[in-house]
Chain A
Amino acid sequence: MLEGESGKGTQKAMELLVAIGDAYDAPKMIPISRAHAASSGQEGDLYFVELLADGGARCKVPTSTNPVYDIPYFHRTFEGIPEDEAAVARRVMEAYRRVGAILSWSCLPYLSENIPLYGETVAFSESSATPYVNSVIGATTNREAAQSALASGVIGKTPLYGLHIKENRKGTHLVKVEATLKDEFDYTLLGYYVGKRLGYGIPVLTGLVKRPSTEELINFCAMSNVSGAISMFHMPGFTVETSTVEEAFQGGKPQDTMTVSNRDLENACEELQTTSGKIDFVMLGCPHYTLRQIEQAAKLLKGKKIRAGVGFWICTSGTTRLLAERNGYVQTIERAGGHVVVDTCIDEPCWIAYRGMTGMTDSPKCAYYRRFKEAMVGRLADCVEAAVKGRHQ
């Protein structure tokens, strides 16, 4: 394939996998069963996917895609989206279609569109996807980039290194959770705090008193892999690979131990607020909201009106919105003046109308990337209340 006998696109994909293999001294390539490319409407992404598509490459195994933005919807709704950036997004989405990807445009493909099973070897990029697939599902993936995952989807292989090797999946740090975790926002803060403190490693979390929900796990994954580079973790008894702490460390000792108190999470939350008072918009769904989260938002908004001039946005997948519509949640949210949008990431040019404005979100990841002028971060209920009042605290 390196000689180009399978076409130029396949050759480029193979070259990239070889460079990665070299970086890790991988002894060989191993087959994968599926991939998820964290596509984005950005130029680096465009360059590589077009290189492959134009070179005739096609995905060999199911390969799903991350959100870009709902182009027809946003261009109908907003003025001033820069045409050059829109053109990039359009070309990216078209090129992923040409390489034969599953056009999921979702950052939670592991919930509906492309679901790995326990023990599968896969190549999943995207902040929440990598740790979720490793830790919660127990399939194996490295912390892939969109391009390495796409290259693996095209070749059907990945270099054998990192988390595909059992001994590299053992815990590195013991994290004793003393904080009370009430809801998914607490798991957001926990992920943010643990990622920031560790930077890199495989934390083993103890002290959890009840089984975390899907949403709690998603948030922990997304935040710890953004404030740090946490590709995997163990919650012995709750995540699939380990039922005891000893097992999680594969008989070894932790490199370090840390505790997380209620105070630590309060401070982490405090650190995320750059302002208080008036807001211009609320943005939810980073990572994409699940059906249950949309239901919660609908319940909180029922019979209420979002203050005039305040934008209220929930990002989700096309699959989830379909169900949310069927269940009437979308209608309730729209009656209150909010919007549920599909195929869209918070970090896209379609949000230009809010550039330089003050927003509130339940996601530190959103606040970090969205280049808000000022940001407030709080739980969903507080975001809804702020949207209704037009201000927070």
Chain B
Amino acid sequence: MKSHEVTLKCHKIVGGYGEGQALVSHEPICFYLTDPKTGIVREKGHELAGKSVAGKVLVFPSGKASSVVQIDGLFKLAQHNVAPKALIVKDVETVLVVSAFIAKIPLVDRMEKDPFQAIHTGTMIKVDAEKGKVMLIMRE
């Protein structure tokens, strides 16, 4: 199957490089409410409930919940090797910056196109936070 790459500019917050399949959540995410050993979202009623964030490029509007649990949640996923490979967000806040910094996961925002329009669950994505670039692999 043919594919081409679409490169979009973004703004680096926490540096690094990560690639994987996109997983899009329209709802904010609390990483504490995922299973630390599998990365499966276990928050009742959440749009991603039952799905795993492991190895994905996670696209979501923002973080939520108290700082203590959010940071520990993402850190534990990273320790068990089931964290997302990169985070693309719309509204960044301090707790999310700290979470990504501690877990050493690239975090970007201000994509030049609305990430919820441009990215769908399953799209292959490369995030080069250092260069401020998001690359989408589009299948034809």
Chain A contact residues, CB within 8 Å of chain B? 15-16, 19-20, 22-24, 38, 40, 42-45, 47-48, 66, 125-127, 142-148, 162, 199-200, 225-226, 228-229, 347, 365, 369
Q: What residues of chain B have their CB less than 8 Å away from a CB belonging to chain A?
A: 12-14, 28, 62, 64-76, 79, 91-95, 97-99, 101-103, 109
* B94 and A144 within 8 A (CB): yes
Contact (A147, B12) CB under 8 Å given A40-B68, A43-B79, A44-B76: no
Contact of B65 with A47 in the complex, beta carbons under 8 Å = no
24 A-B residue pairings within 8 Å (CB atoms):
A15-B101, A20-B98, A22-B12, A23-B94, A23-B97, A40-B68, A40-B72, A42-B72, A44-B74, A44-B75, A45-B68, A45-B71, A45-B72, A47-B102, A143-B94, A144-B67, A145-B67, A145-B99, A147-B71, A148-B94, A200-B62, A200-B91, A225-B66, A365-B66
State the CA gap A15–B15 with chains docked (Å).
11
CB neighbours (8 Å) of A143 from chain B are: 67, 93-95
Q: Is the CB of A44 within 8 A of B94?
A: no
**Considering the chains assembled together, what is the distance between the CA atoms of A143 and B92 in angstroms?**
12
Q: Is the CB of B101 within 8 A of A23?
A: no
Of the candidates A40, A45, A126, A229, the one having the most CB atoms from chain B within 10 angstroms of its own CB is A229
**Is the CB–CB distance between A226 and B68 below 8 Å?**
no
Query: Given the complex of chains A and B, what is the CA–CA distance between A143 and B75 in angstroms?
Result: 19
In the complex the two chains form, what is the Cα distance from A199 to B26 in whole Å? 14
Q: How far is the CB of A271 from chain B (nearest CB, A)?
A: 12
Q: Pick the contact of A16 from B67, B70, B73, B101 — CB < 8 Å?
A: B101
When distances are taken between beta carbons in the complex, the residues of chain A under 8 Å from B92 are 23-24
Contact present for B14 and A48 (CB under 8 Å)? no
B28: chain A residues at CB < 8 Å are 199
Q: Besides A22-B12, A145-B67, A147-B102, 19 other CB < 8 A contacts?
A: A19-B97, A19-B101, A23-B13, A24-B92, A40-B68, A40-B72, A42-B75, A43-B76, A43-B79, A44-B72, A47-B75, A127-B66, A145-B71, A145-B98, A199-B64, A225-B66, A226-B65, A229-B64, A347-B69
Residue in B14, B65, B68 whose beta carbon sits within 8 Å of that of A38 in the complex? B68
Report the separation of the CA atoms of residues A200 and B28 in the bound assembly, to the nearest whole angstrom: 11
CA–CA, A347 and B32, complex, Å:
12
Instruction: Give the distance in Å from the alpha carbon of A143 to the alpha carbon of B94 in the complex.
Output: 7
Residue on B nearest A142 in the bound complex, by CB: B94
* Interface pair A369/B69, CB less than 8 Å apart: yes
Closest to B109 in A: A23
| Assembly CA distance A125 to B65 (angstroms) | 13
Q: Name the CB-closest residue of A to B28.
A: A199
List the A side residues contacting B93 at CB < 8 Å.
143, 229
